[in-house]
Amino acid sequence: PVGAPDKALAKKVAKVGVIGAGLMASQFALLFVRRLEVPVLITDIDQARVDKGLAYIRDEIAQLRTKGRIDADTANRLNALVHGTVDKSEYADCDFVIEAVFEETGVKQQVFREIEKIIAPDAILATNTSSLSVEEIGSVLEHPERLVGFHFFNPVAVMPLIEIVKTPQSSDEALATAFVVARNLKKNAVLTADAPGFVVNRLLAKVMGEAARAVDEGTPLLTVEKAFAPLGLPMTPFQLIDLVGWKVAAHVQDTMVRHFPDRFFASQNLHRLSEVGAVVEKDKNGRVTGWTKEAQKVIESGKSP
Ligand code: 3HC
């Protein structure tokens, strides 16, 4: 890939650490174990979160088995390779540690500060941040050269792309390792500059943000959905927002507005709706059919719930 360092520089990855056990982290923990077949460790701030992530992974492995995609031996092997705990000391022998914790620079810095004390001196670190500055996140590290961005897309199992983000400090070894890991995950990796939203969210934030603003302006939800059809993308704007999560979409939007106030504009409804549990209703084909009652009320009242 363009800009990728020589793969001979890549470090061998014999164990992967995933920090966070939320939906994104669990999805890629599953992918790591499935494609790399190495031990994968997941942690979170409490055991309940770890258990939820583990349950997702084990359930997905069971479904792969039911669908005949893997045999019983493979299912057992994959299950045995995944380990969840709240004990961060277990990152000590991981070669590649990637975080997907709360999308806030300070929170990610705190996590990396703690992890750097535990991991081996040559371990590679990665962040799955969707739009924050990787350099800023890494500025608290003693060795910021070992950090790269490694940005997955939803749904992780099917989206073919990974954005690998290079900071001015990222070492060739860290970048080469990231590219080899991505290739072993059977993903296409592209190298992007460390600019807000990288490339994909720069584009998607426009789609999601402007769709939400059309609703702010009074255009009905289904009109926006219908008006989008000629672009021929696989998902309509509100399907996409619902897929990535309303909170995540609002957060990405905030980051873009903060960095490019003359090019991105906040949507009031995006924020209000991110506080509602279920926002849109969908039919069995996944097509958005309307707002939930709660969301409709929020839009009509123009207030936060
Ligand atoms: N998890 C796992 N697998 C899934 C899935 C999910 N949530 N949704 C669909 N799939 C799988 C299906 O099982 C199926 O696999 P198979 O062919 O092996 O049986 C395959 O994907 C295709 O599914 P379908 O035929 O049911 O569905 P579609 O043809 O409608 O495709 C889609 C589904 C691939 C998700 C397609 O709608 C799509 O490409 N959507 C766009 C998604 C997108 O843009 N993602 C980026 C979001 S932005 C982001 O994540 C960044 C963050 O930082 C904000």
Residue 240 sits in a domain whose CATH number is 1.10.1040.50
Which ligand 1 atom sits closest to the C-alpha of 153? 50
Same domain, 168 and 212: no
pLDDT of residue 305: 55
Query: Which residues does a 6 A CB cutoff place in the pocket of ligand 1?
Result: 130, 153-155, 157-159, 201, 204, 234-235, 240, 243-244, 248, 252
Total structural domains in the chain?
2
CA of 194 to the centre of ligand 1 (A): 26
Ligand 1, atom 43: closest residue by C-alpha:
154
Same domain, 166 and 278: no
Same domain, 259 and 225: yes
Domain end residue (candidates: 166, 193, 220) = 193
pLDDT along the chain (305 residues), means of 10: 91 98 96 98 98 98 97 98 97 98 95 97 96 97 98 97 97 98 98 96 94 94 92 93 94 94 94 94 95 94 69
CA of 155 to the centre of ligand 1 (A): 5
CA of 233 to the centre of ligand 1 (A): 12
Tell me the whole-structure pTM to 2 decimals.
0.94
Same domain, 110 and 139: yes
Same domain, 147 and 274: no
CA of 159 to the centre of ligand 1 (A): 7
Same domain, 16 and 140: yes
pLDDT of residue 304: 58
pLDDT of residue 303: 63
Q: Is 143 a catalytic residue?
A: no
**Is 1 inside a domain boundary?**
no
CA of 286 to the centre of ligand 1 (A): 11
Same domain, 189 and 238: no
Same domain, 215 and 97: no
Q: Which member of 143, 151, 251, 271 is catalytic?
A: 151
Question: How far is the C-alpha of 158 from the C-alpha of 285, rounded, in Å?
Answer: 17
Same domain, 138 and 227: no
Question: How far is the C-alpha of 278 from the C-alpha of 292, rounded, in Å?
Answer: 7
pLDDT of residue 1: 82
CB 178 within 8 A of CB 213: no
Same domain, 165 and 95: yes
Ligand 1, atom 31: closest residue by C-alpha:
234
The domain of 78 spans 7-193
Ligand 1, atom 47: closest residue by C-alpha:
154
Contacts 24+ apart (CB under 8 A), 263-269: 264/205, 264/206, 264/209, 265/209, 265/213, 266/209, 267/209, 267/212, 267/213, 267/215, 267/216, 268/216, 268/302, 269/212, 269/213, 269/215, 269/216, 269/298, 269/299
Which ligand 1 atom sits closest to the C-alpha of 151? 53
Beta-strand relationship, 124-127 and 96-99 = parallel
Same domain, 248 and 265: yes
Domain end residue (candidates: 150, 169, 193) = 193
